[in-house]
Amino acid sequence: MTENLRDIELTLNDGTPTTLNTLAGSDAVLLVNTASKCGLTVQYEGLQALADEYAGKGLTVVGAPCNQSNGQEPGTDEEIRDFACTRYNVSFPLLSKLEVNGPGAHPLYKELTTVPDSDGEAGDVAWNFEKFLITPDGAVAARIRPKTEPQDPAVTEAIETVLAP
């Protein structure tokens, strides 16, 4: 990794510049690329449940909308925010739409995609709702592929391991 992931510049869904450090403080971060028109969009419910359950325990969930998987996030930042908040009661931070793969990939995702998953596979984000658990010091504790639901033991155990005293 070339720099601390938590210091890479990002933009919130409302246009405000930020970083993961600004969003999460000393919390761990579960960063998830999201999409509104995907079969996995219902994972917003599970992500919000994680955000609620672990908010006071040191976890911040952050959504990173992306339109690279079959154009399943075609809306504007405002439309994305309205959809997530109205349909799924999302209260965790959403970033401005970004790219996660290819030459236009956001610098954060250029770093994240070098990290292997539990099977040792690094490379492109496979699909919408791929999850990266980032520790308070900026290390990637887990890369969790899209079809793994937010309440899956693989996710909650990784979170609890990172949050353990």
Is residue 66 among the annotated active site residues? no
- Set out the domains of the chain in order of their start, with CATH numbers: 9-163 (3.40.30.10)
**Cβ–Cβ under 8 Å, residues 61 and 46:** no
pTM: 0.96
Angle at 155 between CA 40 and CA 51, to 5 degrees: 75
List per-residue pLDDT tens for the chain, 165 residues long.
456 999 999 999 999 999 999 999 999 999 999 999 999 999 999 999 999 999 999 999 999 999 999 999 999 999 999 999 999 999 999 999 999 999 999 999 999 999 999 999 999 999 999 999 999 999 999 999 999 999 999 999 999 999 997
User: For the purposes of burial, counting CB atoms within 10 Å of the CB of 154, is it exposed (0-12), middle (13-18) or buried (19 or more)?
Assistant: middle
Q: Which of 12, 38, 85, 126 is catalytic?
A: 38
